[in-house]
């Protein structure tokens, strides 16, 4: 007795296997995309006011004031300020970040920072945390101080 392979059976299972591989690879790529947008160095490029009717002109950046973020693939970040208005020594804060989808239509992603050192560097009404957003234009936006009438900050990836 000779074995004759069932061609229809093989085609059906081969097609299912190919579909499963394509779906798996596609899902893995998507789940890493938000993190890849964030990973790297970002520099402060603009400030804005949260109450334009009271302050029609956006404050200009002091040329000595520099703020950068570095986001690493292991879920940690470093925030560096090179001037706080009183000294020109670099000050760093270290911490962890979580990234997720934003519920606001102007933003793609929300990034929540938890400061493990120097929590006073958090640009927020409360110490120790910041909420950042990745805009549709791929800019990093910090509106954390806006809740207490403070400025907002816009960063560009470098």
Give the domains, in start order, of the chain with CATH numbers.
38-157 (2.40.128.280)
User: pLDDT class for 99, splitting at 50, 70, 90?
Assistant: very high
Tell me how far apart the alpha carbons of residues 111 and 130 are, in angstroms, rounded to a whole number.
8
User: pLDDT class for 50, splitting at 50, 70, 90?
Assistant: low
Predicted confidence at residue 141, as pLDDT, reads 94
CB proximity list for 152: less than 8 A, separation 6 or greater: 47, 48, 49, 50, 141, 142, 143, 145, 146
Predicted confidence at residue 51, as pLDDT, reads 63
* This model's pTM is above 0.85: no
Per DSSP, the residues of 38-61 read H-EEEEEEEEEES-TTT--SPPPP
User: pLDDT class for 123, splitting at 50, 70, 90?
Assistant: confident
Q: Which of 119, 81, 74, 126 is nearest to 96 (CA)?
A: 74
Whole-number percent of the chain with pLDDT over 70: 66
- Give me the chain's average pLDDT, please: 77
Q: 96 by DSSP, 3-state: which?
A: strand
């Amino acid at each position: 007795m000779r074995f004759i392979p069932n061609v229809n059976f093989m085609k059906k299972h081969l097609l299912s296997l190919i579909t499963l591989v394509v779906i798996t690879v596609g899902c893995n790529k998507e789940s890493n995309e938000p993190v890849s947008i964030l990973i790297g160095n970002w520099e402060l490029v603009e400030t804005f006011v949260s109450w334009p009717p009271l302050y029609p002109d956006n404050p200009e950046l002091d040329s000595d004031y520099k703020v950068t973020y570095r986001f690493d693939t292991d879920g940690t970040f470093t925030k560096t300020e090179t001037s706080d208005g009183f000294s020109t020594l670099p000050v760093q804060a270290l911490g962890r970040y979580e990234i997720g989808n934003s519920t606001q239509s102007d933003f793609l992603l929300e990034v929540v920072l938890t400061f493990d050192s120097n929590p006073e560097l958090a640009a927020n009404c409360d110490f120790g945390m910041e909420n950042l957003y990745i805009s549709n234009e791929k800019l990093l936006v910090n509106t954390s101080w806006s809740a207490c009438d403070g400025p907002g900050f816009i960063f560009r990836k470098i």
